Amino acid sequence: MPKGTGWRFSLIGIFVLLSFLYLIPTLVTKLPSWWGGLLPKDKIHLGLDLQGGTHLVMEVDTQKAVEGSLDLVATDLEDTLSSKNLHFKHISRNGSDKVSLLLYEKGTAEAVQKLIKDKYPGYEQSPTFDDGGFVGFTLRINEKDAQDRKDKAVQQALETIRNRIDQFGVSEPTIQREGINHIVVQLPGIKDPQRAIELIGRTARLEFRMVREDITPSSATIPDDAEILKEKSVDRTTGAVSEIPIVVQKKSMITGDLLTDAQVRIDSQFNQPYVAIEFNSLGAKLFDQVTAANVGKRFAIVLDSNIHSAPVIRERISGGSAQISGSFTEKSAADLAIVLRAGALPAPVNIIQNVTVGPSLGQDSINKGLFAGMVGVLLVIVFMAVYYRLCGMVANLGMILNVIYLMGALAALGATLTLPGIAAIVLLIGMSVDSNVIIFERIREELKLGKSPKAALDAGYDKAFLTIMDSHITTLITAAVLFQFGTGPVKGFAVSLSLGVLINLFTSLIGTKVTFDLFMQKGSVKKMSI
């Protein structure tokens, strides 16, 4: 064996072995029990266009997240001033970026101003006036903090959606952020896309609010600290749905942030499902205090501004347990339990793109993709064998190595194979022999100059090296741009193309060269079949 050929030949063999090792989880449906430990378990996943499923692009309403944080500031400020006996007339969010605070008298202004400055240093504070002079303060959130809140809202929404999908039971989902406020969700193989969409998009803000029994919904004026919400009621005999307006306090006594668990239970009396919830230590303490102070009053359980039930508090409830009842089916109760366990979205999300691919269409795409690949391989093999003879068969060997290495690399990375990814593999088949065509034409030129086969071979590879490198680097740059700015299947194409380019450099400059070197050993070859 010629000098330097041994290590290259060994490297080729090792890569082939590793490729087949990583492909086993993809090729074998059920791995044997002893397969584990350090042995690879990742496999090539099929994208939505091949497996079928749902592709969603969701937009997070980040401005609502900022408004929500300002609502919390207003509530917190209200509680803080009350605890320090600093009397105020009104505190509320004003518009989308500020909180207004109205005072009864100027005497408390200095103490309130100092408290606000200490508690909310990141807010811009300014006095407000009317015809009679000073009346209060305005707190405005600065642009940097508002942008930070928006960014965190998208990150939190991403994690919340991921938790919901994990509990929903979708295998191999893709959930990733795209741009400033978009989230891409891919759910391969899902059988009930509409249910998944409703589950993902539900804000699921759970609140416990006191019912204002002293105000009727038909009243001409509703106080600023109250609002009218509706409770859906279903007649168990006729199934008719009716909506009952109820006046409730705007301020939440307890929120879903304090929950630790939510499970579906069946009511033994009516045989109807309900959702049993458990609070954390702080929530249990607040729930105990609120129920103790409001025995005999109604407590509205509000989810996304809809009242699920408004029971009367019969007695003090300790222990941190409660239940949400309503017109539930087992499926709707299970979905509610999932979103409560996963947590509320920090802001509403709007689905701006919804594409569903049927599994039959996906299988058809696989069949056509494989057929196109096989036809491409066959045509290339025939052409190279006819036009370049035995040297063409060496190029065909390099092409086969290319495909084996690429599939092994995709499996090792746990990559997702899409229909454009298959197109990239077919493109790689052409690229793999294209490099050899450049080399072979150089070899032909050297042979015409009267050089020996060995000298012509070495010169051909040396002179083609820079040309091959240039073409592959420009292709790699294009693939990197596609991966950075593309989405879904386009990224799949970019991944397959990038791996193919790198692998093709190895097989065309080392793989085929070592094969020729084995034939050319001892310089006994007098003529090349090219």
Dihedrals phi, psi of 187, to nearest 5 degrees = -120, 90
Higher pLDDT, 207 or 3: 207
Q: Does residue 362 have a pLDDT over 80?
A: no
Q: Which is more confidently placed, 367 or 213?
A: 213
Average pLDDT over residues 59-70: 88
Residue type, 444: R
pLDDT at 524 over 70: no
Residue 360: pLDDT band (50, 70, 90) is low
Query: What is the pLDDT confidence band of residue 10, given thresholds at 50, 70 and 90?
Result: confident
pLDDT higher than threshold 70 for residue 470: yes
Instruction: List, for residues 281-318, the tens digit of each pLDDT value.
Output: 888 888 898 899 999 999 898 888 888 888 888 888 88
**Is 428 contained in some domain?**
yes
Type and span of the H or E element at 37 = none
Q: How far apart are CA 175 and CA 159, in angstroms?
A: 9
Q: Has residue 131 got a pLDDT over 70?
A: no
C-beta of residue 499 within 8 angstroms of C-beta of residue 406: yes
pLDDT the model gives residue 210 = 93
In a domain, 350, yes or no: no
Q: What is the CATH number of the domain that holds 413?
A: 1.20.1640.10
Task: Please tell me whether residues 44 and 101 are part of one structural domain.
Answer: no
pLDDT bin (cut points 50, 70, 90) of residue 522 is low
Query: Looking at the predicted structure, is the pLDDT value of residue 11 above 80?
Result: yes
CA distances for 234 relative to 101, 208, 268, 327, 361, angstroms: 42, 22, 19, 6, 40
Identify whether the C-beta of residue 272 lies closer than 8 Å to the C-beta of residue 326.
Answer: no
141 and 97, same structural domain? yes
How large is the average pLDDT for residues 104-125?
84
pLDDT at 89: 85
The span from the CA of 115 to the CA of 189, in Å, is 55
**Residue 50's pLDDT is what?**
76
The pLDDT of residue 246 is 94
Are β-strands 241-249 and 254-255 bridged in parallel, bridged antiparallel, or unpaired?
unpaired
- CATH code of the domain containing 101: 3.30.1370
The confidence score (pLDDT) of residue 2 equals 57
The pLDDT-based confidence of 59 (bands split at 50, 70, 90) is: very high
- CA Rg value for the chain: 34
Tally of structural domains, the chain? 3
pLDDT band at 487 (very low <50, low <70, confident <90, very high): low
Q: What angle do CA 463, 468, 472 make, to 5 degrees?
A: 160
Are 389 and 451 found together in one domain?
yes
- How far apart CA 390 and CA 58 sit, in angstroms, is 55
pLDDT for 354: 86
Residue 220 or 509, more confident: 509
Give the residue from 96, 130, 145 where a domain finishes: 145
**Those residues with Cβ within 8 angstroms of residue 377's Cβ, 6 or more apart along the chain or in another chain:** 399, 403, 429
Are residues 68 and 36 part of one domain? no
Residues 399 and 265 in one domain: no
Choose the final residue of a domain: 145, 160, 182: 145
In a domain, 176, yes or no: no
Same domain, 452 and 519: yes
Is 333 a member of any domain? Answer: no
- pLDDT recorded at residue 361: 61
Strands annotated E in 215-368: 226-234, 241-249, 254-255, 259-266, 273-279, 299-303, 306-309, 321-324, 349-357
**Helices in 486-521 by DSSP H: which ranges?**
489-506, 512-519
Question: Same domain, yes or no, for 243 and 315?
Answer: yes
Residue 315 belongs to what domain range? Answer: 210-324
In this structure, which amino acid lies at residue 113? Q
Mean pLDDT of 317-344: 82
Q: Tens of pLDDT along 173-191?
A: 888 888 889 998 888 877 6
State residue 132's pLDDT score: 65
- What is the pLDDT averaged over residues 376-403? 86
Give the pLDDT confidence of 22-57 residue by residue, as tens digits.
Answer: 888 888 877 777 777 677 877 787 777 777 788 889
| pLDDT over 70 percentage in the chain | 95
Confidence of residue 523 (pLDDT cuts 50, 70, 90): low
- Domain membership of residue 182 (yes or no) is no
Cα 184 to Cα 58: distance, rounded to the nearest angstrom:
6
Does 222 share its domain with 319? Answer: yes
Residue 84 within any structural domain of the chain: yes
In a domain, 162, yes or no: no
DSSP H stretches of helix in 277-358: 281-293, 330-342
Residue 364 and residue 254 share a domain = no
pLDDT band of 465, cuts 50, 70, 90: confident
Mean pLDDT (the chain) is 84
Residue type, 214: D
Taking residues 309-328, report their average pLDDT: 84
Distance CA 528, CA 252 (A): 86
More confident of the two residues 134 and 202: 202
Closest CA to 189 of 360, 334, 27, 41: 360
3-state SS, 126-161, equals EEEEECCEEEEEEEEECHHHHHHHHHHHHHHHHHHH
Whole-number percent of the chain with pLDDT over 90: 7
User: Is residue 369 in a domain?
Assistant: yes
Where helices occur in 212-329 by DSSP H, the ranges are: 281-293
Q: What is the pLDDT of residue 126?
A: 86
Give me the pLDDT at residue 525, please. Answer: 65
pLDDT of residue 3: 61
